[in-house]
């Protein structure tokens, strides 16, 4: 598999728009608006008019075009929390920022964000210059879906277009295939190291399902009990080398590569807390003899784990629940990749759906903010969390009001590189939209 992948990478022609051709076709420079080196090229084109309805032009014709979206960006004061909030999208299409385990921004500030949108009639990845309200379409894929991408802050987007893992440079639009999943298997969401050198993911055997109803998670248990074959892969984005790191007859997903040690890959056994006995596993690709994946935080009866992620320091954050008879305790927890336990923190009520840490791991964000066990409104807020004396302290940052009906509508919040903003999703305005809330504003 490695040789086929390397040859495909060597022989494929990069799908890109040359700098001169791009500028000649779009003309009219009119001044650069981007503050990140290299992005001035992308945003130098004459933009299309403000969006009012979804274009009917085929998506491929829109790749590289710049669009004014000033009428979509709306800033307001959250009436419930007082926070400063920006709605970044709002043309009636569905727009989703990257999964909470990935960066959502390019550069070191919160000025340039990446999200997927079906405003062209099919999902494509876009880059938004927020201060200038300019949006550029990055891709023209045929089978792009929300969450199936990850971002390196240096300006590279890694995304799946069907079975094809692709890399695009946001400053030049150079787009190339890195790897192709073998027939009969489907990829799960990708993850990359902090420098973008390595990408990891799992591919899983495609199977027919009888319990799919269209409701989220409806077929999860059936898929778990089918024990589909899965393989954890790591791709070198420079050489094209593909390494199969682990595989077994189990549904593997939620793969995470260590931000600075690409030999360490974390993954989970998927299927829901009622089925999965041990969720988190870690494999060291430096092991050359009889490599084995080992449990990370071995679970005991009554415990369930969920929504693991790597902090920027390289520790693993996750949430776990402990059933004590009819009562349930829920925690934030942290552990090192070698299994060294750090600490757990008890929530005052139900846990958030998803959590992520700021750059120093001193502040966390989640897409629920229950202040007590009987707090019925907490599921409608983005919450900020600190940890004091073994307990989670929660503040409500912003009201998101999402329905939670689909993965795309989940808040999946994460911090901007400067820790000043939290980006999140919501379908409170009927379609999926991307929002930002300013952390210091409350």
With helix as H, strand as E and coil as C, how does 223-262 read?
A: HHHHCCEEEEEEEECCCCCEEEEEEEECCEEEEEECCCCC
Q: State how far the alpha carbon of 95 is from the alpha carbons of 119, 188, 254, 351, 376, in Å.
A: 8, 20, 22, 26, 28
Least confident of 24-38, 85-99, 168-182, 396-410: 24-38
pLDDT at 100 over 80: yes
| Mean pLDDT, the chain, whole residue set | 89
- Predicted pLDDT of residue 38: 61
How many CB atoms within 10 Å of residue 209? 12
Q: Write out the residue range of the structural domain in which residue 258 sits.
A: 2-441
pLDDT at 167 over 50: yes
How many CB atoms within 10 Å of residue 21? 11
- Give the pLDDT band (50/70/90) at residue 42: low
| Element spanning 8, H or E | helix 2-11
Under DSSP, the state recorded for 144 is -
- Give the pLDDT band (50/70/90) at residue 436: very high
Angle at 316 between CA 99 and CA 420, to 5 degrees: 55
What does the block give as tokens for 388?
Answer: 């004091």
Collapsing DSSP states into helix, strand and coil, what is residue 301?
coil
- CB under 8 Å to 162, separation ≥6 — which residues? 141, 142, 143
pLDDT at 191 over 90: yes
User: Residue 118: which of 137, 99, 98 has the closest Cα?
Assistant: 137
Beta strands in 138-279 (DSSP E): 149-152, 156-161, 164-169, 175-180, 185-187, 191-192, 198-205, 229-236, 242-249, 252-257, 264-269
Place of tokens 């495909």: 8
Q: What is the dihedral of CA 146, 147, 153, 155, to 10 degrees?
A: -40
Bridge-based pairing of strands 191-192 and 185-187 is unpaired
Under DSSP, the state recorded for 182 is P
Q: State how far the alpha carbon of 172 is from the alpha carbons of 23, 67, 116, 429, in Å.
A: 11, 17, 19, 34
- Predicted pLDDT of residue 50: 59
pLDDT at 105 over 90: yes
User: Residue 255: which of 333, 195, 188, 167 has the closest Cα?
Assistant: 188
How many CB atoms within 10 Å of residue 228? 18
- Give the pLDDT band (50/70/90) at residue 153: confident
User: Residue 438: which of 427, 428, 426, 423 has the closest Cα?
Assistant: 423
pLDDT at 52 over 70: no
Count of domains forming the chain: 1
pLDDT at 24 over 80: no
Angle at 185 between CA 261 and CA 276, to 5 degrees: 65
Radius of gyration of the chain (CA): 21
pLDDT, tens digit (0-9, with 9 covering 90-100), for 244-264 = 999 999 999 999 999 999 999
- Predicted pLDDT of residue 14: 45
Q: State how far the alpha carbon of 162 is from the alpha carbons of 149, 302, 383, in Å.
A: 12, 38, 34
Helix ranges restricted to H, 27-149: 39-42, 59-62
Q: Mean of the pLDDT values across residues 47-67?
A: 60
How many CB atoms within 10 Å of residue 202? 28
Place of tokens 């919450």: 383
| Element spanning 399, H or E | strand 391-399
CA distance 229 to 5: 20
| CATH, residue 312 | 2.130.10.10
> What b-and-e string marks burial along 117-136, b requiring 16 or more CB atoms within 10 Å of the CB?
bbbbebbbbbbbbbebbbbb
The sign of the dihedral angle between the CA atoms of 394, 398, 400, 401 is positive
User: Residue 382: which of 368, 370, 372 has the closest Cα?
Assistant: 368
CB 433 within 8 A of CB 427: yes
- Predicted pLDDT of residue 25: 37
CA distance 375 to 426: 20
CB 365 within 8 A of CB 355: yes
- Predicted pLDDT of residue 7: 35
CB 333 within 8 A of CB 318: yes
């Amino acid at each position: 598999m490695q040789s086929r992948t390397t040859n495909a990478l060597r022989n494929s022609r990069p799908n890109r728009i040359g700098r001169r051709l791009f500028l000649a076709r779009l003309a009219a420079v009119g001044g650069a608006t981007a503050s990140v080196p290299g992005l001035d090229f992308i945003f130098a084109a004459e933009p299309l008019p403000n969006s009012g309805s979804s274009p009917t032009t085929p998506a491929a014709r829109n790749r590289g075009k710049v669009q004014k979206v000033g009428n979509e960006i709306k800033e307001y004061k959250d009436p419930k929390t007082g926070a400063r909030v920006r709605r970044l999208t709002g043309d009636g299409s569905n727009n989703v920022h990257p999964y909470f385990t990935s960066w959502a921004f390019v550069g070191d500030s919160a000025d340039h964000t990446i999200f997927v949108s079906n405003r062209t009639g099919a999902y494509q990845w876009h880059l938004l210059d927020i201060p200038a309200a300019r949006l550029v379409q990055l891709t023209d894929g045929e089978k792009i879906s929300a969450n199936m991408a990850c971002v390196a802050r240096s300006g590279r987007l890694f995304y799946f277009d069907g079975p094809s893992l692709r890399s695009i440079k946001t400053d030049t639009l150079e787009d190339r295939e890195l790897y192709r999943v073998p027939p009969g298997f489907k990829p799960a969401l990708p993850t990359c190291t902090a420098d973008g050198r390595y990408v990891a993911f799992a591919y899983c055997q495609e199977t027919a399902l009888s319990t799919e109803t269209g409701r989220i998670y409806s077929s999860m248990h059936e898929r778990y009990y089918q024990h589909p074959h899965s393989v954890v892969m790591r791709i070198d984005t420079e050489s094209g080398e593909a390494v199969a790191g682990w595989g077994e007859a189990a549904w593997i997903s939620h793969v995470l590569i260590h931000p600075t040690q690409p030999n360490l890959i974390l993954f989970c056994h998927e299927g829901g807390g009622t089925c999965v006995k041990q969720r988190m596993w870690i494999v060291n690709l430096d092991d050359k003899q009889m490599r084995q994946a080992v449990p990370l935080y071995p679970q005991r009866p009554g415990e369930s784990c969920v929504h693991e992620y790597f902090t920027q320091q390289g520790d693993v954050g996750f949430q776990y629940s402990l059933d004590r008879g009819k009562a349930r305790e829920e925690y934030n927890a942290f552990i090192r990749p070698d299994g060294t336990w750090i600490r757990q923190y008890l929530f005052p009520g139900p846990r958030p759906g998803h959590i992520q840490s700021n750059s120093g791991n001193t502040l966390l964000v989640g897409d629920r903010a229950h202040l007590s066990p009987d707090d019925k409104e907490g599921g409608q807020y983005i919450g900020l969390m600190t940890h004091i004396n073994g307990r989670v302290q929660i503040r409500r940052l912003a009201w998101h009001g999402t329905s939670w009906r689909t993965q795309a509508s989940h808040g999946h919040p994460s911090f901007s590189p400067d820790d000043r903003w939290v980006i999140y999703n919501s379908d409170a305005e009927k379609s999926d939209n991307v929002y930002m809330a300013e952390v210091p504003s409350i």
